[in-house]
Amino acid sequence: MDTKKALELITKLADGIDPITGEIYSSTSPYQKPDIIRALFKAKEGLEVMIDREKRKKNFPERAGEPWSDREEAEVCEQFDRGDDLSDIAKKHKRTIGAIRLRLIRKGKLENIPYQR
């Protein structure tokens, strides 16, 4: 089940509505109990955060945020020393330009100066 569908279902339950039939739950239903409603709203908040993260992740390269290997760091340094453009290096490694810059700064290849787009 995708996250958006789960959010739809949890939202209806939190609102006291049967997500299958659309009927409002009776006052004796567990879905009308305050602690259950609070728990469902917490679940709803969590699903909204997940959806937001999924949206943001789509805008990043495939390997953004993944750990770096020693080999990959060495390749980035070699490509930089060769004069390759940072955007080309980022594309090759499927990472952001900012991640490439930071790695080069940590390796002493670049000065830590503000990035200009």
Asked if residue 72 and residue 49 are part of one domain, the reply reads: no
Both 73 and 43 in one domain: the answer is: no
> 51 with 85, same domain?
no
Give the tens place of pLDDT for each residue, 29-68: 999 999 999 999 999 999 999 999 888 778 889 898 899 9
Whether residues 91 and 117 share a domain: the answer is yes
Q: What is the DSSP letter of 60?
A: S
pLDDT at 117 over 70: no
pTM: 0.54
User: If we measure between CA atoms, which residue out of 73, 77, 82, 84 comes closest to residue 109?
Assistant: 77
Residue 115: predicted pLDDT: 58
Residue 85 lies in domain: 63-117
Provide the number of structural domains found in the chain: 2
User: Within this chain, do residues 33 and 68 fall inside the same structural domain, yes or no?
Assistant: no
